[in-house]
A and B are shown apart, each in its own frame.
Chain A
Amino acid sequence: MNLKKYLTLTRAGAMETLQYRASAVVIVLGNLLYLTIVYFLWKAIYASSPSEVVNGMTFYDTLIYLVLAAALAASIEMYTVWMIGRDIQSGKIVLDLLKPMEYRSFYFWSMAGSMVMNFLMTFIPTFIAVEIMTHGAIHIGMNIVWFLIALVFAVLINYSIDFIVSTICLFTESIWGINIMKQVIIMLLSGATIPLAFFPDKLRAVVDHLPFQSIYNAPLSLLLDSTGDVRKAVTTLATQLMWCVVMTVISKLFWNVSVKQITVNGG
């Protein structure tokens, strides 16, 4: 019964996503454009390199990684900060605060619906397309299972970070700057725009100790790993789990402290 009230939110979110078909098309087109740029950029990078393998990755390794990263971003990026920020500015947040459940959960489960729909409509088709075009370059086996577990953690970590940033918006009452900063940091340090293998060693060492790499690098490296290295998988997942717990606790505490500070506009 208790779970039902959360799943019903997810269901509604999925239904709402399906109402906006045009937006889905635009997102796919935008991604195709992005991927075209990625293709030519990295082609140029590899052309200027003396060897075919750079930092342990071939051109196609890199391309597959980045295509999947873009598809993953389209699935799990929920624009939480925009939405919550907008609700804070318009005062609509009051109505959601007045639901008989925690706001953090309420929002997560409402968003989960469109996340699931985007995953089914963007990531899965992209994955299949990549698999067909590369004649099965991605190994299919235990790595899929690891990937799916890692994905759940990635979503939770990403949401916690988004939620922390949204909470900051309660104080600043402006969204734009903070959100842009958040997006840039995550896209860069998570390995969503440049594979972490290309990072200089020192930066890499820092990034490895930050939560961001758990969002994109972790699930994608597990997915693309064909060696079936169980130890590596377990370590990655354990790191993710650790970050998941830490970020969830921080975001909850920060929210609980901050919600007292709310000075909802209007009225």
Chain B
Amino acid sequence: MSGIISLNNITKEFKVLNRREGLKGSLRDLFSRDYKIVKAVDGITMEVQQGEIVGYLGPNGAGKSTTIKMMTGVLEPTSGELLVGGRVPYKNRSQNAQEIGVVFGQRSQLWWALPLVESFKLLKDIYQISDEQYDSMMKLYGSLVNIEELLHKPVRQMSLGQRTLSDILAAFLHDPKIVFLDEPTIGLDVSMKAKIRTLIQALNREKNTTVILTTHDMGDVDALCRRIVIIDKGKMLYDNDIEHLKGFFGSYRTLKIRVSGDMGKVASEIEKELPEFKVSSDEEWISVLVDEDKSKVLDVLSLLRHKHDIRDMQLEEISTEEVIKKIYEGGVE
């Protein structure tokens, strides 16, 4: 079955000039033909079905934005097959544009000096949205966010949160099949992040819109994505459900204990006793990251109980954030 987006062994190379140092080097660069090839995306294959929310993750410079730019049709892949809604995006950029919506967290497509409603009216004409569709969209928006407060405010007077919210609404306005959200919650406060997540989820549910989300905030991933794709250095590291992710590097759990006496001293003792596990401590807790494939948490706990006076304990599942961190640090192996 082929999905709404399908990438088959996609590679994108950039030619980058080898820059030299210093003023003299810069002058020589003017005449240099010394290019090197940088593979930003290297053999990525994936299928995305209509209505999915896919978290597209990777460290900075991993090639996420490049992939998104290829899917939107701004960049042409160096090799491989890429279909979005059955079309080759870079060849049919205008038609493709009709079916996708884009939000780049740090940029706005809205008309800066004008009230939001004017931007909406413009988009309505540009995307040739019918009056009925526009009205029903407005109704939907009204039920999801406090739209009246935003509509008559010039975009430049909005807070970053309001602007992002508006940009998301603008991207969904022409009821696209796919919306690309590139770090939509960047720089937002906790409550605004929650609002934006709820909004994205609701729009995805109501319109069955496919959402491709890149983010560095694991809160976004936990709240929105069932499936995540991780890339690094252009290569795909992981593509599966978020549940499987936690078992990706063995089943980790964090055992937290509080002991009487000098916590720091006890912590370093435990570190010696359990050389195979990572031990860290702060003022309140000593945390042991237990790999359950090696030994059970309960065994570790009873071992510790013999030697130390444990006053309190907590058991934590490893967070998505920690797994991802491990994957990033592990890199491509």
Contact = CB atoms under 8 A, between A and B. Distances in A.
Interface string A1-28: 1001100110010011001100000000
Nearest to B98: A100
Nearest to B99: A100
B183 to A, nearest CB: 10
A262 B125 CA distance: 28
A95 B66 contact: no
A231 interface: no
Contact of B113 (A20, A96, A102): A20
A101 interface: yes
Given A264-B74, A267-B65, A16 B104 contact: no
B291 interface: no
A183 interface: no
A1 B128 contact: yes
Contact of B125 (A5, A19, A102): A5
B233 interface: no
Nearest to A8: B125
Nearest to A18: B113
A267 B69 contact: yes
A260 B94 contact: no
Interface of A: 1, 4-5, 8-9, 12, 15-16, 19-20, 90-92, 94-102, 260, 262-264, 266-267
Contacts of B69: 94, 264, 267
B93 A97 contact: yes
B104 A95 contact: yes
Given A12-B111, A94-B74, A98-B93, 13 more contacts: A5-B128, A8-B125, A12-B114, A12-B118, A19-B113, A95-B104, A99-B126, A100-B95, A100-B97, A262-B75, A264-B75, A267-B66, A267-B68
Given A100-B97, A102-B94, A92 B107 contact: yes
A9 B74 contact: no
Nearest to A4: B125
B217 to A, nearest CB: 17
B94 A101 contact: yes
Interface string B49-91: 0000000000000001110110011111000000000000010
Please indicate which of the listed interface residues A19, A90, A92, A98 has the most CB atoms of chain B within 10 Å of its own CB.
Answer: A98
B159 to A, nearest CB: 19
A260 B12 CA distance: 13
B248 interface: no
Contacts of B111: 12, 16
B272 interface: no
B202 interface: no
Contacts of B113: 15-16, 19-20
B284 to A, nearest CB: 40
Contacts of B94: 100-102
Contacts of A15: 113-114, 118
B127 interface: yes
